[in-house]
Structure 1
Amino acid sequence: MASEGEITNLNGHNILKRQWGRLISCLPQLNSVDLVHPTLTLGRSDECDLVIYKSKFLPNQLLFISKKHFMIEQDPDDAAITYITDLSKNGTYLNDCLIGRNKRVILQSNDCIAIGEKLKVYIFKSMNYIANENYLPEAYRNKYELTHFLGKGACGEVRLAYDKYTCKKYAMKKITKGRDTTSQMHNINHPNRIYMEISILWNLSHPLVVRMESMVETEEDIFIVLEYVRGGELSKRLSSNSNMSEANAKFLFYQIVLAIQYLHASGVTHRDIKPGNILLVSDDPYTLIKLTDFGLSSVSEEYDLMKTMCGTWHYIAPEIIDPSIVEYDKKVDVWSMGVVLYYMLSKTLPFNADDKSTLGKMIISGTYNMIGPAWYEISDSAKNLIKQMLVVNPQKRISVEGILNHPWIKKDSLMQFRVESLLRKSQICPVKHMDEKDSVSRVKRIKLCSEQPG
């Protein structure tokens, strides 16, 4: 539990501040230090918080200690993160590795700090330690620092993770593996389904699709490092008090369609499109989106039909749940996008019921309406597109290309230009190539890639 330190403010009054870390001395001539202030500097200068006095060190040691040697600081926005910056010409070392002048890395609990010619001065202890040692696999313990939860699902959780050496943010997804038996194949955490998600992610490279960085598998879990998207889920944006304008909805929806167009061209059907699986890059209303969560996705050859029942019920296509239909294709994503667009424009769901049986009947029959105050100011063109997307018969349902050519989208050249401008500015990863073999063999290749340095 964090202790508190007494600080004197400008008016001479004593106030209490929480201790967020401790530096444990490695040398008898240095005292251990409780970290209470947001920053701390060490060096020979009297201006430093920790002064290296000439009287306490040998001349040959002082030669390699700078006036301002390093600075330790707590992240003002994330109390669990501590940085160390090398300010010296002579070198600051973390666990025997040179940081580099004016470079900053993340300081983790039990890290050893050395200066000059690797003179060990302090061991850092964090008071906000989240027990990486017990949570992360060995391959990730000294590479990432975990902080708060980003989300939790049926078979795993996602935490915010910082790369120790670049300080870049990532989303660390931990999936607990289910039993590897045929009877459990339908479960979302069956190993083969997890491997499928990984293989899909590794193959994809598009600015509107969340990027996978690496993965590590243990006996019980699989850890996937994903691109961090700081704007949060579209579902949270839509649940706010303010209504989304039709122009704003179109701007975001157009990107969703482009992302699905890319997936389908890559032989991937998402099968679980919903606001919770659409992430926003920033808090700006007109921001880029990122499609995520490929746990229910399917890779197929052209014209292949799928048979597995999956998806979130309010957004699920009728052909998936209709017992009289045994197969379906990528048009299921068009239906789900239609439900998403309906929800974006009205903040209500087209198909909604208290029990799954009634909901299923509504979906299979295509029973919905667009009446009420929410629809008064929505254009006829937008309503027409929704009607073409929420067609029960998939053969008569509009295609992704048809959506892009629909007047509501095609005639808005300014909107398209704004999206394309943002896409040009975004950083696009090089495509990762993998052999088109079964998902297990793909994961073996992924694991080899993830073990390589850098």
Structure 2
Amino acid sequence: MFGYPREFELFNDVIDKKIEKGGLKHLGSGGYGDVLLYTSKETDVVIKRVKSGQGCKNLKEFKIHELLSKDGNKHIIQLFDVLKTQKFLFFYLEFAAGGDLEQMIKAKGTLSSTIAKEYFTQMIDGIQFMHGLGIVHRDLKPANLFLTSDGILKIGDFGFATKFRDDEGENMLVTLCGTAKYWAPEVETSKKLVDGPPLDVWPCGIILIEMLTGRRPWEVATLKNMENWISKEEDKNLPWNNVEDDVMSLLRKILVVDPAKRATIDDIQEDKWLSGNKNIENGGTAQPKKDRKRKLQTVVPITEDNGRKRQRVPKKKFSCLE
């Protein structure tokens, strides 16, 4: 099974000892838990370890990521497997050796228009795939956009993702979530239900400006910042003043306060700045170690740590899965 360990002993307290000995590398941690990298001759696999106490939220993330991984879309970080123990839930995820887009921007300062366009195009393709399945990410930002060693951008971290469409049609969303620096104005200002897909369109504009200028246009979409943007104020310190005209034209379709008038993902794909875009080798990434080849398999249901019981994901809706 992909050459990664699923033995019972790995998922007890000795997991921390394995990190110390080098069998696992600690990549990061937060309120959700830890992210580990397991390395073997056959493959590299990211293991996201989260506390089982967040059951409803964890189950939602599993269901969303399982659905996104079924077709093996190349712009989505693939979920290989999930294992449940008494204390933790372990997500086995595809490893992208090139790091994330936030790290690249910090290292390079700015990206060329050609490279920014390539990554932007791949991000839009990934979002279109998600929206086609009725899923909205709700936390798009450079830190959640991962890069392979050959320049493929992959969307990851679906902790805030949710379904905005089911068999009965599209649903409006109510949950306030995401990262304030990237969320759409309606997330903070709306006192009513909001439409799902426009929430993912807005941060695309912020990310594009950040790739081209090395700066976010604003920390939060305040009224003053929006007035400066709408009035096209000629302040030399505004990040967007130095981008090319075709990019500005696209940005003014994306960064629209009214979500009903904001460009859709289809609109963005048809924009002239993206037309004729061709894939570029390496995507401008640094040259990290090569991703190891691995075969994708169908995601299995959550498995108990004794290897005998299998838990089906309930089909009923949960109150926290909005």
Given the two structures, how large is their TM-score scaled by the length of structure 2?
0.76
Query: Alpha carbons of 1:363 and 1:257: their partners in 2 closer, same or farther (altered >3 Å)?
Result: farther
Map of 1:405 onto structure 2? 270
Q: What per-residue deviation string (whole Å, max 9, x for no partner) do you get for residues 148-194 of structure 1?
A: 2212222111011135xx5311001001134xxxxxxxxxxx32111
Residue in 2 that maps onto 1:318: 185
> How far apart, CA to CA, are the structure 2 residues paired with 1:364 and 1:431?
46
What's the CA shift for 1:304?
1.3
Shift of 1:303: 2.0
Whether the 8 Å CA contact 1:147–1:159 is kept in 2: the answer is yes
1:115-172 alpha-carbon deviations (Å, 9 max, x no partner): xxxxxxxxxxxxxxxx8752449xxx9xxx8422212222111011135xx5311001
Structure 1 residues 315, 366: CA separation in 2 closer, same or farther (over 3 Å shift)? Answer: farther
Q: Give the structure 1 partner of residue 63 of structure 2.
A: 199
1:182-221 alpha-carbon deviations (Å, 9 max, x no partner): xxxxxxxx32111111111111231110011111112221
After superposition, residues 44-83 of structure 1 pair within 5 angstroms as none
Q: How far apart are the structure 1 equivalents of 2:125 and 2:295?
A: 15
Q: Structure 1, residues 320-345: CA drift from partner, whole Å, max 9, x if none? A: 11143333321100001111111111
| AA partner of residue 144 (structure 2) | N
Amino acid at match of 1:197: E
Residue aligned with 1:320, SS: helix
Contact 1:320–1:328 (Cα < 8 Å) also in 2: no
* Deviation, structure 1 residue 445: 3.0
Q: Secondary structure at the match of 1:313?
A: coil
What is the match of residue 147 of structure 1? 24
Paired residues, number:
277
Of residues 149, 154, 168 in structure 2, which corresponds to 1:290?
Answer: 154
Query: In structure 1, how many angstroms separate the alpha carbons of the residues matched to 2:145 and 2:209?
Result: 15
Q: In structure 2, what is the equivalent of residue 396 of structure 1?
A: 261
* CA–CA distance in structure 1, aligned partners of residues 4 and 75 of structure 2: 29
Q: Using the alignment, how far apart are the partners of 1:407 and 1:431 within structure 2?
A: 38
RCO higher in 1 or 2 (8 Å CA, sep ≥ 6)? 2
* Identical pairs, percent: 25
Cα distance in 2, alignment partners of residues 363 and 219 from structure 1: 49
The one of 45, 50, 66 equivalent to 1:175 is: 50
- 1:278 is matched with which residue: 145, 165, 170? 145
Uncovered stretches (5+) of structure 2, i.e. residues with no partner: 284-292, 302-309, 315-322
Note the 1:215-364 alignment, pairs <5 A. 215-282=82-149, 287-301=151-165, 302-352=169-219, 359=220, 361-362=222-223
In structure 2, give the amino acid aligned to 1:134: D
**Which one-letter code corresponds to 2:30 in the other structure?**
G
Deviation at 1:399, TM superposition (A): 0.3
CA contact (8 A) 2:118 2:278 kept: no
Cα distance, 1:347 vs structure 2: 1.1
Structure-2 residue corresponding to 1:110 = none
Change (3 A) 1:372 1:241: farther
**Change beyond 3 A, Cα 1:376–1:308:** closer
- Structure 1 residues 330-365: Cα deviation after superposition (integer angstroms, max 9, x where no partner): 11000011111111111111222xxxxxx3534894
Aligned pairs for 1:124-139 (under 5 A) are 134-136=13-15
What CA distance in whole angstroms lies between the structure 1 residues aligned with 2:269 and 2:263?
10
User: Closer, same or farther in 2 for the Cα pair 1:146/1:194, shift >3 Å?
Assistant: farther
Specify whether residues 432 and 149 from structure 1 end up closer, same or farther in structure 2 by C-alpha distance, changes over 3 A only.
closer
Structure (1 or 2) with the larger CA radius of gyration: 1
Distance 1:223 1:393, change over 3 A: same
- Higher normalized strand content (fraction of residues): 1
**Superimposed CA distance per residue, residues 34-78 of structure 1 (whole angstroms, 9 cap, x where no aligned partner):** xxxxxxxxxxxxxxxxxxxxxxxxxxxxxxxxxxxxxxxxxxxxx
Q: Secondary structure of the equivalent of 1:407?
A: coil
Aligned residue number for residue 72 of structure 1: none
> Residues 82 and 300 of structure 2 are in contact (CA less than 8 Å); yes or no, is this contact kept in structure 1?
no
Instruction: Give secondary structure in 2 for the equivalent of 1:224.
Output: strand
Measure the CA separation in 1 of the matches of 2:80 and 2:164: 24
For structure 1, the residue ranges without an aligned partner over 5 or more in a row are 1-104, 108-130, 179-189, 353-358, 420-425, 435-442, 448-454
Mapped partners of 1:174, 1:364: distance in 2: 38
